[in-house]
Amino acid sequence: MNRQSHVPSSAGASQSSHRSYNTGFVLAALLTLLPFGLAMYPSLPRHLTFIAVLVCALVQIVVHMVFFLHLTTAREQRWNLVALVFTVVIITLLVGLSLWIMYYVHYNMLGL
């Protein structure tokens, strides 16, 4: 009675996962160091530095979502994507409308 059990190997998936995390780490580090360098050693005009930092921040958000949170457009991820879009809409409304209210409060208080 020789009982052999076959355990499926997940070494390939683990290797792929480590590669994904390492790639995400390198990209996130670069997208952090680039704006830091632009801010510490200003070589661009101020408005271009602001735009570069903003673009790096937006790209870094995407890098974190893809490489660390593993959000994709796959069918299994639909509800996660719907929740993310809903969260972004709510936060945008909350921040945008708060700024709008504060602007008009400031505008109306200047007349006093």
* Tally of structural domains, the chain: 2
Instruction: Centre a 10 Å sphere on the Cβ of residue 67 and count the other Cβ atoms it contains.
Output: 19
Whole-number Å distance between alpha carbons of 91 and 65: 17
Q: What percent of the chain has pLDDT over 90?
A: 65
Residues 60 and 44 in one domain: yes
Tell me, yes or no, whether 20 and 49 share the same domain: yes
Q: Tell me, yes or no, if the pTM score tops 0.85.
A: no
pLDDT tier, 110 (very low <50, low <70, confident <90, very high otherwise): confident
Alpha-carbon dihedral 74, 80, 86, 87, rounded to 10 degrees: -130
Residues 52 and 91 in one domain: no
Within a domain: residue 5?
A: no
pLDDT of 46: 94
Mean pLDDT computed over every residue of the chain: 88
Residue 7 has pLDDT above 60, yes or no: no
Helix (H, G, I), strand (E, B) or coil at 45: coil
Domain limits at 33? 12-70
| pLDDT per residue as tens digits for the range 12-52 | 556 678 899 999 999 999 999 999 999 999 999 999 999 99
Average pLDDT rounded to a whole number, residues 93-100: 97
Residue 41 lies in a domain: yes
Yes or no: say if 52 and 35 are a contact pair by the CB < 8 Å rule: yes
